[in-house]
Amino acid sequence: MRSLPLTPIAGSAAAAGAPGTTADAPAATSAAARRAAMPPRHLADLDLAARSALLAELGEPAFRAKQVSQHYFGRLVRDPSGMTDLPARSREHIAAALMPPLLTPLRELACDGGATRKALWRLHDGSLVESVLMGYPDRVTVCISSQAGCGMACPFCATGQAGLTRNLSTAEIVDQAVYMAGAVANEPMPTSPPRLSHVVFMGMGEPLANYSRVVAAVRRLTAPAPEGLGLSQRHITVSTVGLVPAMHKLADEGLQVTLALSLHAPDDDLRDELVPVNQRWKVAEVLDAAWRYADRTGRRVSIEYAMIRDVNDQPWRADLLGSLLRGRSTHVNLIPLNPTPGSRWDASPKPVEREFVRRLRAAGVSTTVRDTRGREIDGACGQLAAAEVVS
Ligand code: SF4
């Protein structure tokens, strides 16, 4: 096994080893700094009742909140100037009080014959985040970011190297999906349905470290229009590196979303290094939380495993992983590592990957290798933002 440098988990309550806490509750000074950096309130931060109350305070009629919400979530109109059935004065109120621009597109790229599109956004405070849209024959999925940067410090990940800048607001999370839903509706992907159907929280950040805003975003994405975007809860996937208290909390939310656990190693020795939060919550505890999630929700848990050459891809690790997962309600996604420029981490060779798959399947564990969408456009976690920062 290679010895890897350990990096402290910056800005994460998990680093302090505080069960039940998340980055929603950091130290007082950093909380103040982060609040200062949060964006202005937006319609997607609020439920329909709160939108109505706010607009009533501005002297708008009772039906206005539904009307504006229908524009945003139903017709995917993100700019109030496009709501031409509203009086000009109302559009001004709404722009000022409910719909400040949250995401400024810096760069949009396409590859895979137009079946993958990636957007890099600048937020109001200059932070950069990204979203990736992926078209398949049966669905269209958007991968969205939940934090600017990430405090989890996984050493093989571009985002993890820069640390956490701040949590995204609920609306900054939701607006990525609404923008991409509009992009698909206006310009369908070549061989995919003309409608966004799935959302995965696998962009920048550790979603469960921004717990309350991510759960609010899930509720907004899945509430029927005009309250929300009307997606199926079963079409939403929330990933985590294994923040155990937050996993338990999510299991008790009454949601039907898929939980994806980024495991990356079946043994604590290696996982302590690849996923530093493992120093707080060990493999056995993390898997117990995953099985409890499956029991409580009836949803199969995804196990994500980045295949890294000569680091975590040995046959004995496949066998150990198989023994941990055998008989459980789970599916393994092996992810060929997309190495960051200048990184010493590399993807496993294909024969090694095939043998890993063979051993897991021989143990009775459902396993697939994830496609590597967006490689031409730095499609791995956080890499487009990293490229922009260094260029
Ligand atoms: S792999 Fe995910 S959790 Fe780990 S540092 Fe990167 S973005 Fe954060």
Question: Taking the alpha carbons of 335, 383, 208, 145 in that order, is the dihedral positive or negative?
Answer: negative
Q: Is 382 in the pocket of ligand 1 (CB under 6 A)?
A: yes
Query: Which of 143, 154, 157, 381 does the annotation list as catalytic?
Result: 381
Q: Mean pLDDT over residues 237-243, rounded? A: 96
81 dihedral zone (left: phi>0; alpha: psi -120 to 50; beta): alpha
Q: Mean pLDDT over residues 100-127, rounded? A: 92
Ligand 1 nearest atom to the CA of residue 381, by list position? 7
CA of 373 to the centre of ligand 1 (A): 18
Ligand 1 nearest atom to the CA of residue 157, by list position? 6
**Active site annotation includes 285:** no
Bridge partner list, 308: 347
pLDDT in tens, 22-35: 334 334 445 545 55
**Active site annotation includes 381:** yes
> What is the residue-averaged pLDDT of the chain?
86
The residue count of the chain comes to 391
Q: Mean pLDDT over residues 42-68, rounded? A: 93
CA of 94 to the centre of ligand 1 (A): 36
Cβ(70)–Cβ(14) below 8 Å? no
Residue found under tokens 């050493």: 155
Nearest CA to ligand 1 atom 5: 160
C-alpha span between 260 and 370 (Å, rounded): 13
Ligand 1 nearest atom to the CA of residue 206, by list position? 3
Q: Indicate whether 195 pLDDT > 50.
A: yes
Q: Indicate whether 258 pLDDT > 80.
A: yes
CA of 158 to the centre of ligand 1 (A): 8
pTM, two decimals, is: 0.88
pLDDT in tens, 197-229: 999 999 999 999 999 999 999 999 999 999 999
Q: Name the pLDDT band for 374 (thresholds 50, 70, 90).
A: low
Q: Mean pLDDT over residues 281-297, rounded? A: 98
Query: Which of 60, 130, 172, 304 does the annotation list as catalytic?
Result: 130
DSSP per-residue letters across 36-75: HHSPPP-GGGS-HHHHHHHHHHTT--TTHHHHHHIIIIIS
CA of 170 to the centre of ligand 1 (A): 20
